[in-house]
Amino acid sequence: MKVAVLTGGGDCPGLNAVIRAVVRRANAHGFEMMGLRDGWKGLLEDNHFRLTRETTSGILHRGGTILGTSRVNPFKVENGLERVKRAIERNGIHAVIAIGGEGTLSAATRMSQEGLRIVGVPKTIDNDINATDFTFGFDTAVAIATEAIDRLHSTAESHKRVIVCEVMGRHVGWIATYAGIAGGADVILVPEIPADLEKVAEHIQRRHAGGRTFSIVVVAEGTRIKLSADQQEQLVTSGALDEAGRPRLGGVGTILAHEIERRTGFETRVSVLGHIQRGGAPTPHDRVLATRYGVHACDMVARGEFGKMAALRGNDIISVDLADATRELKRVPQEFFEVAQVFFG
C-alpha cells in the first residue's frame, strides 16, 4: 500500500516531527511512503520522492519541512481536482495524509467528499483549527513571542517607553492572548474584538497617572482598529495578496504605535515579530504532540478512517471528522480573554 504525505500552507515548527513519525509508524503497517513536494502542488505537478527511515533521519528537531510547502489550492486551479485524481491513480496512491492548517484541511475536506481517501493532521501556529484542543506549532510560537515580550519589558522600563509588539494571528488571537498573559502585557488586542484606540490611549494614560513609567501592548496582526469613535473598524494590510489570494496583513503595530504616541504624548516604539514565530526548532511539547499526531494519522490510514483528522482532546489523540474540524475557526472565547483582562494595567 502506497501512502503520500504533504505539508501545505505556512511552515510551522513540528512539521518534520510529524513526517518522521508517519514514516516510522508506516514500517509497522508495511506501507510504502511518498513525499509530495510543496503541498497540493506536488500532486498537481507530479512532484514527489520516496520517504524512508533514512531520508527522515535526524529531522525531529529541525524547523520548516523537508517536503516544502505552498498555499496552492487545487480547487482554485483549472481542472485541479481532476488532475489530483489522475495523479493519485497514476502513482497508485492508496491514501493521502495532509498536514496543514485552515486552507490545506479545507481542501482536504472537499476532496474527501469527492471520494478521495484523505487523513488530516492539524498544523498551525495560530491554533485556530476546530475540534482539537491544540495544534502543533502553537506552543513554539507562543514561547518565541513570550521571550520577545520579556526582552521588550527591560528596554521599555529602562527608556520609559510604550512598546507595541505585533504577533501573528490573521483571524484569531490565541498567540497574542497566551503570549500576552505569559509576558505580562498591559494591553492585549485580538481579531475577535475590534480595538478602540481611544480606550487604549486612556488605559495607558491611567497607568502612567498611577506611577507606571512604561507599558507593553501586544497586538495580533489581524486585529481591526477604530481610529475614531465614528469610524468603522478596519483591517490593516500591505495592499498585496498572498499565494492564496488573501490580503497580506501587516502594519497594525506601526499604526497603533503612532496613534498611542499621538494621543498620549508618550514615546512609543513597535517591534514586529513576523516570521520569527514560525521558524527554528520546535519546543519539546510540539515535538511530542507532532509525533503523536503522526503515529495516529498512520494508524488511521491502516484502519480506513478516511475523511477524518487526528485531534487532541484532553491528553488523548482521537479521530474527528474533517468537516467538523474545518466548519469554522476556533476563536478565543470571551471568558478566556477575560482572564487576560484581569491583569491589564
| Residue 125 marked as a ligand binder | yes
In the Cβ-directed half-sphere of 242, how many Cα atoms lie within 13 Å?
Answer: 15
| Residue 10 marked as a ligand binder | yes
Grid cell in block for residue 297: 494519522
Positive/negative CA dihedral, 23, 324, 247, 278: negative
| Residue 111 marked as a ligand binder | no
Instruction: Name the phi and psi angles at 119, rounded to 5.
Output: -125, 140
| Residue 55 marked as a ligand binder | no
User: What b-and-e string marks burial along 158-172, b requiring 16 or more CB atoms within 10 Å of the CB?
Assistant: eeebbbbbbbbbbeb
- As annotated, the active-site residues are 126
| Residue 161 marked as a ligand binder | yes
| Residue 168 marked as a ligand binder | yes
| Residue 287 marked as a ligand binder | no
| Residue 184 marked as a ligand binder | no
CA distance 157 to 148: 14
In order, the DSSP letters of 222-265 are T--EESSTTSPPB--EEEEE-TTSPEEE--HHHHHHHHHHHHH-
| Residue 104 marked as a ligand binder | yes
> Among all chains, which residue has been given the C-alpha cell 475557526?
329
| Residue 54 marked as a ligand binder | no
| Residue 129 marked as a ligand binder | no
| Residue 71 marked as a ligand binder | yes
In sequence order, what E strands does the chain have? 2-7, 32-36, 48-51, 93-100, 118-122, 162-167, 187-189, 195-196, 215-220, 225-226, 237-241, 247-249, 268-272, 308-313, 316-321
User: What b-and-e string marks burial along 183-203, b requiring 16 or more CB atoms within 10 Å of the CB?
Assistant: bebbbbbbbbeebbbeebbeb
| Residue 222 marked as a ligand binder | no
| Residue 72 marked as a ligand binder | yes
Q: Which residues are annotated as part of the binding site for Mg(2+)? A: 102
Binding residues for substrate: 124-126, 161, 168-170, 221, 269, 275-278
Residue positions in the annotated binding site for ATP?
10, 71-72, 101-104
Annotated binding-site ranges: 10, 71-72, 101-104, 124-126, 161, 168-170, 221, 269, 275-278
